[in-house]
Amino acid sequence: METQTCVPYFTFPLGTACFDADGDKFILSDNRADGERLVVRWTAFDGSGRSGECHDSDGASNGATVCNYNFREGKNNYVRFQAMTRNGAKGKDSNISPALHGYISPR
């Protein structure tokens, strides 16, 4: 079963950003050493009201950064997320991808 939902490369050529329902992880790989980090901003639609961000801020092309969450399982529960690049922790967002939905319980 495919458990990952990924931002397509053609909309986001600066790295890869996936949500993996197997373990509720975001997996980010910044692939360009341009001084900008890769960020995923997410909102969980699992009844918790949680939202947050995952940052790959430790440099480019050095393996994936994994942010591991524990969302509430449920047939219709999902996370909505967008990838972007950011100049520093609180800098300006660029290269914002379309929003994707990833189901929390693999289906």
Out of 11, 62, 68, 94, the only residue in the binding site for Ca ion (CB under 5 A) is 62
Q: Specify whether the CB–CB gap between 89 and 38 falls below 8 A.
A: no
Residue 104 is encoded by which pair of tokens?
């929390």
Residue number, 45 or 85, with CB nearest to Ca ion: 85
Q: CA separation (Å) from 21 to 58, 71, 90? A: 24, 9, 28
Q: Which of residues 77-96 bind Ca ion (CB under 5 A)?
A: none
Region from 42-50, 56-64, 76-84, 93-101 binding Ca ion, contact rule CB under 5 A: 56-64
Distances (CA, A) of 14 to 21, 31, 50, 91: 23, 6, 27, 17
Binding-site member from 3, 50, 60, 105 for Ca ion (CB under 5 A): 60
34 binding Ca ion? (CB under 5 A): yes
Contacting positions for Ca ion (CB under 5 A): 30, 32, 34, 36, 56, 58-60, 62
